[in-house]
Structures are given as structure tokens and as C-alpha cells.
Amino acid sequence: MNINNYPEIRPKSKLIKKIYVWVMLFVFGRAFQAASKVDPAAKEEFAKMPADFCFDMCVLPNGPHMIIGKDEKGKIRYMGWDPRGKKITLWMKIKNLDAAILMFTFQESSCVATARDRLIVDGDIPAACGILRLMNLLETLLLPKLLAKLGVKRYPRRTQLSPARKWASRILTYIRIVA
């Protein structure tokens, strides 16, 4: 038996999954920027972030990136997917593409993904907790209730998020994502 007689098995390319995660990160990046202008809870959460805040969520080993940061005026901007030349203060790395698919198809909430050790955080832990709270808020605003309940740990009650505020923020966020 000779080991050289057996061909090396290469994993298949997961192109469709990678494209899906890239699109979701793009939409979430634009949604972070839009919600920072529209929703009071998002404004408050971003106000707690340091002035030089720059956040990169990426999929390891070489997956897509989502970079969000504050500009010189203190406004939140979606800065694209190329981290070169940017001073990143907070990295949130999803360990692999399959873990990202679980998160972005809302089969697993970000809290459950963190508990199952699918995320690596490098940077300020309070800022990372704020980003997770913002992701939960965005999932609540952008998704129908049935899907949002899967994506967040606890769906907000009417006393926490009134229907009028939710729908106003939802509509304005959708408009700002597209425009």
C-alpha cells in the first residue's frame, strides 16, 4: 500500500454560501449606517463607542468582511469590505463559513453563536457587546417577527419597542439601505 497512489481530496468551493454571506454582510453594513441615523436606541449605542471606533466583522479564513466605523464628524459609515489601510479597533471573526451561514440564515442567534464558540472577538469587549445588541436591534427591525425570533435571544415586548417606533424605524431604515 503506497500513499502516493491515492489522490488528494480537495474540498469543494462553497461559492453560493460565500456570495450569500457577502450579500448579508453588505446589507447589515448598510443597515448599521442607516439605523445610526434613524433609530434612537442605535444612536445611543453608537454614542457610547469611542471616537476612533472602527469595526470589522469577517469570516475566517478568507471570507467576506464588513467594516463599519466613525468618520471625522462622528457619523457611522459603512466602509466596505477591504480592511487594508483602516485602523480597526474591534475585530469580530466568525470561525468558518458554515458558522456564518448558521448566523445569517437565522438558524442560530448571535448569542448562541458566541456561546458555541463560533465568534472570536479581538478588541474592546464592551464595544463588542454593543455591536451584538445593535445586531439584535437590526434583526428585530429588518426581519419579520417569525424570523427575528429565531435570530435574537429575546424578542422585545411591546413595552420595550412600540409598534409605531418599530415600523417607523423599519421603513426609514429600509429606505436608507436602498438610497
**pLDDT per position in the chain (179 positions), as tens?**
677 787 777 777 788 899 999 999 999 898 888 888 888 888 888 888 888 889 999 998 887 899 999 888 888 889 988 888 889 999 999 999 999 999 888 888 877 888 898 988 898 888 888 888 888 888 888 887 777 777 777 777 665 667 777 778 778 887 888 87
- Grid coordinates of 74: 462622528
Global confidence as pTM: 0.81
Strand 54-59 vs strand 65-70: parallel, antiparallel, or unpaired?
antiparallel
Which domains, from first to last, does the chain contain?
A: 13-178 (3.30.1050.10)
Q: How many CB atoms lie within 10 A of CB 43?
A: 13
Give the number of C-alpha atoms closer than 13 A to the C-alpha of residue 170, restricted to the C-beta side. 15
